[in-house]
């Protein structure tokens, strides 16, 4: 008897579930959409998310409520997100590091396969900067400097993307190094400006004003294509024969199992927001490179990054 | 410079500036004074409204929130022994006893005037000496942070009320609590017991709510009897409950010293208002002629803590406007607002947007003046809180704490964290441990440890490394001379005391 | 020998610091860095805490031996007070536990009513006032502050 009841309830709930999927694809969202930024309040991703949320009511007929869930560089928020059901109105952001580097240092409960990527919001490349006191002005100068001295560099934590790409690069170049871990890319950059460390890896947008004011020397960009803007004219590391690069993406994710038509519809709505002239003006001022590639591209991005992290990890160990 | 100054003044002097700065001040006061609501929440919540404003108006609005939020925390600290912000815990040490002795208005006014004094002082420093101060601040590397932290931890001896050993133990507890979560240098998890909610560490505001607000409601519930009003403040109107300006300015030395401390700490990114207010409180206590009054309702104590933490508000804008470095999380939001308005912070800001920068700096002085006016006007309403019945206030505080705690991370887990800390604090207070050193340890723990580790990595085994840095040497010299001075003055007082005893005998 | 707050506090923190020292190897992975690693700082602080707690105990015992324990007041527990405290804690915990199930608004209302009962309040105005407050707080948080309360 008990089993029978159990079977019936499972059946009914399955039926209800199927029905709700059907209904949701048509008139999602039934309640306000919550977007979760797992990084600092006031940071670049948070700013972009809050700017996008402005247009939520016009686009979805429901407001977008921007929230932050901090902790361990995104691990807390992504773990908590596992509680969400498919077709949830909660949307989360993640970066490739959350799925490639975080699992290497600690046990994490989630994996990339638990999420369905909706789209990418922005892409950012890391640049290598040096303090002007060191006299390092180019990649060649760095080689010469490193041949004689141990290089002290500052990065955002000793388990982040920044640490991995620079230590892999320096190892490949045969340069002896020591890393100083800071709390955030900002702190690491400040230490370089003050001359406490010689090198730092930071976001191109973050370092821009300092490079312009000659407080920092930009040497190279961690990418496969050169970085050419009004301030930068940097060769990629690949030009020197190194493949130690990872680009950073702000990926919009939902829970695995969400209806594909719904994913497409959410993406279409957010694309409209990204193309809104008011939003474009804000994004320009923030200096972000809006790059709305789709979920397939993100799948590939994360997979190649996981491979790279595996390789760079071994290189950095030396 | 003169031209920019005048142009900046003209750019600031618009109706919208005045409207928005007052609106911001009011919001900040409300959010700062209600335990559970934070200035951060207020800033992120109202930030989107600034998208449609121009740069100066939006900055006035957010700065208004920032400044009065910093003062607002003292209101609940004074009236209901629950600091609305972490740095108001220092204000509470004397503000609450003074209010309890029947002078809530005097305590509130001292805090308000001192906040205004500190705020205007640092706004003037920002206006006239920002580039110079910024240069000094940039010399602060890991070794200097570490030295500063060690000095900050010495404050524990000053706030451990009686038993130094117990103060140190409580401080250690705070330091250990600060290590919970991901180690920001190596990335490993510490003391998380495989609970992902702890990966990010303990949130300072949530622990604060537990340590002070929840524990206070429990203690009140245990003491309740029908005749007692909330926190047993005498409610009959006291004629002495006024603060003549002359009396306020009689402690001008303390005010100046505290404002300098607040400005110096504030312009060093990442240190924060809590460190400033405690450091200044401790310095004031050590230098005071009336040391015994501290902790029992000394106006000097309130003035020291409040002028220092509001001096931080102007000073944190120094690294922001000159170097583009946000000193704390609230200022990071201001940085975002600058960027959205096309004023990219950094070393080029003064050259490219001089007028706007001057408008902001002049505006900050005006904001502080209006904060004094608003605070003065609203003070009678706040003072009425002491007349609200205890049985109404206690559940209300719990409800606000719940909603406020939830708002930080949108999770019920944090509410349980707050309750646990409330119970722990209640037990520890019963055993004569003060929660203040726990708070200090928690505030300084991460900064101390990380900078020690960075220093060791940077030194590369060279023990003279720290001494080779001029900034470190200067700091060590200042602190050693201060310690010698404190020891000397204590000895002198002791010998004076023994002399008078002899004479009496 | 009297159970003073120093003895109880000392014992409590000897226990806590020993516990922390014990779990450090398990709870904190030592990073392979040279010099100070992630374990060092917690270990030093826990050791300092242990030393201070032992000192606190030894000092207290010595003082009691020397001066006799007549003048020292033992840590006394006013049971009537403590039961009220425990009851109130239970009330707060129940409030937190009920919130996810019945929602913040109703949980708060129930909590306020129970708290007023706890304080022996019979005046109906008090109840009405707090109910109104609950509704206001709920709406302010949910619709003005956009906090997604349960």
- List pLDDT tens digits, range C102-126: 999 999 999 999 999 998 888 899 9
Report the pLDDT value the prediction gives residue B315, as an integer from 0 to 100: 93
Structural domain boundaries, residue B461: 2-233+243-468
Nearest CA in chain A to C27: A106
Mutation target vs B (from C21, C141, C148; most B CBs, 10 A cutoff): C141
The answer to whether residue C131 sits within a structural domain is: yes
Q: Quick check: C31 and A34 CB within 8 A?
A: no
| pTM (predicted TM-score) | 0.88
B197 touches chain A (CB under 8 A): yes
The answer to whether residue C47 sits within a structural domain is: yes
Of C31, C33, C148, the CB nearest to A34: C148
- List pLDDT tens digits, range C46-83: 999 999 999 999 998 888 888 765 666 667 777 888 89
Q: How far apart are the first and last CA of chain B?
A: 67
- Count of A-B CB contacts under 8 Å: 151
The answer to whether residue C149 sits within a structural domain is: no
Report the pLDDT value the prediction gives residue B502, as an integer from 0 to 100: 65
Average pLDDT value for residue range A93-106:
89
- Count of A-C CB contacts under 8 Å: 8
Number of domains composing chain B: 1
- Final residue before a domain boundary, out of C67, C97, C112: C67
Of B40, B186, B332, the CB nearest to A181: B186
The answer to whether residue C114 sits within a structural domain is: yes
The answer to whether residue C72 sits within a structural domain is: no
Shortest Cα distance, chain B CAs vs residue C64, angstroms: 16
Does residue C61 sit in the same domain as residue C85?
A: no
CA distance B253 to A240: 62
HSE (CB half, 13 Å, CA atoms) of B262? Answer: 39
B355, B360, B362, B364: CA torsion to nearest 10? 180
Q: Quick check: B395 and C29 CB within 8 A?
A: no
Mutation target vs B (from A56, A160, A196, A205; most B CBs, 10 A cutoff): A196
Segment B477-483 long-range contacts (CB within 8 Å, at least 24 positions apart):
B479/B147, B479/B151
Burial of B77 from C-beta contacts in 10 A (0-12 / 13-18 / 19+): buried
Shortest Cα distance, chain A CAs vs residue B352, angstroms: 11
* Inter-residue contact B367 to B28 (CB < 8 Å): no
Shortest Cα distance, chain A CAs vs residue B355, angstroms: 19
The answer to whether residue C150 sits within a structural domain is: no
Of the candidates B345, B312, B338, B322, the residue with the CA atom closest to the CA atom of residue B56: B338
Q: Quick check: A65 and C146 CB within 8 A?
A: yes
Average pLDDT value for residue range A217-223:
94
- The pLDDT tens digits along chain B (505 residues) read 568 889 999 999 999 999 999 999 999 999 998 887 888 888 888 887 887 888 899 999 999 999 999 999 999 999 988 888 888 999 999 999 998 888 888 999 999 999 999 999 999 999 998 888 888 888 888 999 999 999 888 888 777 767 889 999 999 999 999 999 988 888 888 999 988 889 888 988 899 999 999 999 999 888 876 555 444 455 556 667 777 888 888 889 999 999 999 999 998 888 888 999 999 999 998 888 888 888 889 999 999 999 999 999 999 999 888 888 888 888 888 888 888 888 888 888 888 888 999 999 999 999 999 999 999 999 888 888 877 887 888 999 999 999 989 988 888 999 999 999 999 999 999 999 999 999 999 989 989 999 999 998 888 878 788 888 888 888 889 888 888 887 887 787 777 777 766 666 5
Residues 370-429 of B with CB under 8 A from A: 409-411
Nearest CA in chain A to B194: A107
Average pLDDT value for residue range A171-184:
90
Structural domain boundaries, residue C26: 5-67
Chain A residues with CB inside 8 Å of C148's CB?
32, 34, 65, 67
Residues 57-96 of A with CB under 8 A from C: 63, 65, 67
Q: Quick check: A158 and C31 CB within 8 A?
A: yes
The answer to whether residue C44 sits within a structural domain is: yes
Of B138, B184, B189, the CB nearest to A157: B184
CA distance A255 to A241: 39
The answer to whether residue B503 sits within a structural domain is: no
Question: CA B177 → CA B158, B206, C35, distances in Å?
Answer: 21, 13, 23
Average pLDDT value for residue range A141-145:
93
Nearest CA in chain C to A90: C148
Question: CA B93 → CA B74, B252, B282, B311, distances in Å?
Answer: 11, 20, 11, 19
Chain A residues with CB inside 8 Å of B327's CB?
none
Q: Quick check: B329 and A42 CB within 8 A?
A: yes
Question: CA A107 → CA A4, A202, B112, B139, B196, distances in Å?
Answer: 39, 27, 49, 38, 10
Chain A residues with CB inside 8 Å of C33's CB?
158
* Inter-residue contact B82 to B212 (CB < 8 Å): yes
Chain A residues with CB inside 8 Å of C146's CB?
63, 65
Residue A240 pLDDT class (50, 70, 90 cuts): very high
Shortest Cα distance, chain A CAs vs residue B362, angstroms: 24
Tell me which DSSP letter residue C144 carries. I
Segment A307-314 long-range contacts (CB within 8 Å, at least 24 positions apart):
A308/A100, A308/A246, A309/A100, A309/A101, A309/A104, A309/A164, A309/A246, A311/A168, A312/A164, A312/A165, A312/A167, A312/A168, A312/A244, A312/A246, A313/A104, A313/A164
Does residue C101 sit in the same domain as residue C134?
A: yes
Of B181, B184, B346, the CB nearest to A210: B346
Q: Quick check: A50 and B341 CB within 8 A?
A: no
* Inter-residue contact B51 to A54 (CB < 8 Å): yes
DSSP strand E in A161-306: where?
177-182, 199-203, 217-222, 227-228, 233-234, 248-255
Answer whether CATH 3.40.190.10 is correct for domain A126-246. Answer: yes
CA distance B105 to A76: 44
Place of tokens 């600031």: B12
Does an H or E element contain A91, and which?
Answer: strand A90-94
Does residue C85 sit in the same domain as residue C133?
A: yes
Fold classification of A2-123+247-312 (topology level)? D-Maltodextrin-Binding Protein; domain 2 (3.40.190)
Report the pLDDT value the prediction gives residue C35, as an integer from 0 to 100: 67
HSE (CB half, 13 Å, CA atoms) of A182? Answer: 26
Shortest Cα distance, chain A CAs vs residue B336, angstroms: 6
B327: tokens are 């000193």
Of C5, C17, C146, the CB nearest to B431: C5
The answer to whether residue B17 sits within a structural domain is: yes
How many C-beta neighbours within 10 Å does residue B339 have? 21
Shortest Cα distance, chain C CAs vs residue A158, angstroms: 10
Report the pLDDT value the prediction gives residue B232, as an integer from 0 to 100: 47
Q: Cis omega (within 30 of 0) on the bond before A29?
A: yes
Report the pLDDT value the prediction gives residue B348, as an integer from 0 to 100: 85
Tell me which DSSP letter residue B76 carries. H
Report the pLDDT value the prediction gives residue B335, as an integer from 0 to 100: 85
Average pLDDT value for residue range A142-162:
89
Domain spans in chain A, listed from the N-terminal domain onward:
2-123+247-312, 126-246
Of B139, B197, B342, the CB nearest to A285: B342
CA distance B460 to B442: 28
Q: Quick check: B182 and A208 CB within 8 A?
A: no
CA distance B391 to B372: 32
Number of domains composing chain C: 2
Rounded to 5 degrees, φ, ψ at C95 are -60, -45
Chain C residues with CB inside 8 Å of B399's CB?
108, 111-112, 133-134, 137
Place of tokens 């159970």: C3
Q: Quick check: A73 and B182 CB within 8 A?
A: yes
Shortest Cα distance, chain B CAs vs residue C84, angstroms: 5
B291 touches chain A (CB under 8 A): no
Neighbours of chain A (3+ CB pairs under 8 A): B, C
Does residue C11 sit in the same domain as residue C38?
A: yes
Does residue C57 sit in the same domain as residue C92?
A: no
Q: Quick check: B346 and A213 CB within 8 A?
A: yes
Question: CA C62 → CA B190, B204, B433, C56, C73, distances in Å?
Answer: 38, 38, 21, 10, 16
Higher pLDDT, B131 or A165: A165
A108 touches chain C (CB under 8 A): no
* Residue C144: pLDDT over 60: yes
């Amino acid at each position: 008897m008990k089993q029978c009841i159990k079977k019936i309830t499972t059946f009914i709930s399955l039926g209800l579930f199927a029905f709700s999927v059907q209904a949701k694809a048509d008139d999602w969202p039934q309640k306000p959409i919550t977007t979760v930024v797992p990084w600092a309040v006031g940071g670049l991703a948070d700013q972009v998310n809050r700017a996008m949320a402005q247009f939520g009511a016009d686009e979805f007929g429901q407001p977008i409520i921007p929230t932050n869930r901090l902790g361990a560089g995104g691990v807390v928020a992504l773990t908590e997100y596992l509680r969400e059901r498919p077709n949830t109105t909660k949307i989360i952001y993640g970066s490739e590091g959350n799925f490639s580097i975080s699992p290497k240092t600690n046990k994490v409960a989630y994996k990339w396969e638990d999420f369905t990527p909706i789209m990418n919001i922005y892409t950012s490349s890391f640049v290598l900067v040096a303090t002007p006191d060191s006299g390092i002005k180019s990649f060649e100068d760095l080689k010469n400097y490193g041949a004689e001295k141990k290089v002290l560099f500052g990065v955002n934590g000793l388990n982040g993307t920044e640490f991995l790409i620079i230590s892999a690069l320096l190892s490949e170049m045969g340069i002896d190094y020591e890393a100083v871990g800071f709390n955030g890319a900002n702190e690491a950059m400040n230490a370089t400006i003050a001359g406490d460390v010689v090198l730092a890896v930071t976001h191109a947008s973050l370092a821009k004003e300092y490079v312009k004011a000659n407080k920092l020397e930009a040497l190279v960009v961690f990418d496969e294509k050169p970085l050419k803007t009004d301030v930068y004219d940097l060769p990629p590391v690949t030009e020197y024969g190194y493949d130690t690069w990872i680009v950073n993406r702000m990926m919009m994710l939902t829970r695995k199992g969400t209806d594909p038509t719904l994913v497409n519809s959410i993406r279409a709505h957010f694309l409209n927001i990204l193309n809104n002239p008011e939003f474009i003006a804000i994004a320009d001022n923030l200096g972000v490179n809006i790059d709305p590639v789709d979920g397939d591209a993100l799948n590939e991005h994360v997979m190649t990054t996981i491979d790279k992290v595996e390789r760079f990890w071994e290189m950095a160990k030396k | 410079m003169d031209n920019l100054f005048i142009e900046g003044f003209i750019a600031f002097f618009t109706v919208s500036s005045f409207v928005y700065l007052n609106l911001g001040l009011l919001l900040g006061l409300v959010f700062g004074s209600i335990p559970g609501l934070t200035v951060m929440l207020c800033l992120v919540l109202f930030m989107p409204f600034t998208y449609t404003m121009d740069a100066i108006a939006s900055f006035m609005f957010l700065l208004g929130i920032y400044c009065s939020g910093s003062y607002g925390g003292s209101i609940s600290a004074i009236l209901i022994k629950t600091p609305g912000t972490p740095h108001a815990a220092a204000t509470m040490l004397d503000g609450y006893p003074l209010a309890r002795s029947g002078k809530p208005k005097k305590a509130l006014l001292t805090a308000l005037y001192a906040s205004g004094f500190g705020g205007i002082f640092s706004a003037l420093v920002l206006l006239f000496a920002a580039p110079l101060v910024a240069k000094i601040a940039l010399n602060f590397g890991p070794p200097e942070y570490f030295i500063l932290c060690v000095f900050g931890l010495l404050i524990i001896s000053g706030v451990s009320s009686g038993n130094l050993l117990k103060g140190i133990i409580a401080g250690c507890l705070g330091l250990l609590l600060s290590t919970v979560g991901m180690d920001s240098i190596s990335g490993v998890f510490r003391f998380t017991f495989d609970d992902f909610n702890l990966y990010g560490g303990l949130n300072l505001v949530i622990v604060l709510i537990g340590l002070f607000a929840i524990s206070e409601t429990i203690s009140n519930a245990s003491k309740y009897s029908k005749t007692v009003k909330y926190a047993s403040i005498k409610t009959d109107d006291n004629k002495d409950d006024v603060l003549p300006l002359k009396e306020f300015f009689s402690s001008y030395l303390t005010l100046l010293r505290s404002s300098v401390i607040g400005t110096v700490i504030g312009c060093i990114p990442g240190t924060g208002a809590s460190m400033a207010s405690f450091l200044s409180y401790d310095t004031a206590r050590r230098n005071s002629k009336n040391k015994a009054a501290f902790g029992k309702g000394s106006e000097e104590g309130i003035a020291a803590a409040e002028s220092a933490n509001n001096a931080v508000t102007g000073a944190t804008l120094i690294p922001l406007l000159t170097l583009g470095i946000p000193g704390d999380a609230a200022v990071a939001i201001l940085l975002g607002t600058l960027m959205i308005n096309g004023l990219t912070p950094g070393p080029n800001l003064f050259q490219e947007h001089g007028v706007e920068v001057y408008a902001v700096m002049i505006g900050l002085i005006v904001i502080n003046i209006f904060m004094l006016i608003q605070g003065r006007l609203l003070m009678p309403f706040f003072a009425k809180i002491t007349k609200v019945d205890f049985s109404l206030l206690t559940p209300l505080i719990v409800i606000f704490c719940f909603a406020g705690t939830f708002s930080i991370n949108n999770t019920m887990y944090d509410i349980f964290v707050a309750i646990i800390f409330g119970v722990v604090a209640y037990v520890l207070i019963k055993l004569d441990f003060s929660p203040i050193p726990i708070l200090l340890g928690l505030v300084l723990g991460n900064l101390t440890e990380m900078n020690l580790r960075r220093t060791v990595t940077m030194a590369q085994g060279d023990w003279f490394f720290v001494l080779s840095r001029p900034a470190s040497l200067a700091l060590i010299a200042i602190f050693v001379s201060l310690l010698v001075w404190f020891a000397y003055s204590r000895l002198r007082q002791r010998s004076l005391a023994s002399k008078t005893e002899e004479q009496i005998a | 020998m009297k159970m003073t707050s120093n003895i109880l506090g000392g014992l409590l923190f000897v226990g806590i610091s020993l516990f922390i020292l014990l779990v450090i190897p398990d709870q904190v992975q030592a990073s392979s860095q040279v010099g100070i690693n992630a374990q060092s700082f917690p270990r030093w602080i826990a050791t300092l805490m242990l030393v201070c707690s032992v000192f606190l105990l030894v000092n207290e015992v010595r003082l009691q031996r020397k001066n006799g324990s007549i003048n020292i007041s033992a840590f006394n527990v006013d049971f009537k007070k403590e039961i009220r405290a425990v009851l109130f804690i239970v009330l707060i915990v129940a409030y937190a536990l009920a919130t996810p199930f019945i929602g913040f608004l109703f949980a708060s209302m129930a909590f306020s009513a129970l708290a007023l009962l706890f304080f022996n309040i019979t005046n109906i105005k008090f109840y009405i006032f707090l109910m109104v407050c609950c509704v206001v707080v709920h709406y302010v948080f949910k619709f003005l502050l956009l906090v997604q309360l349960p």
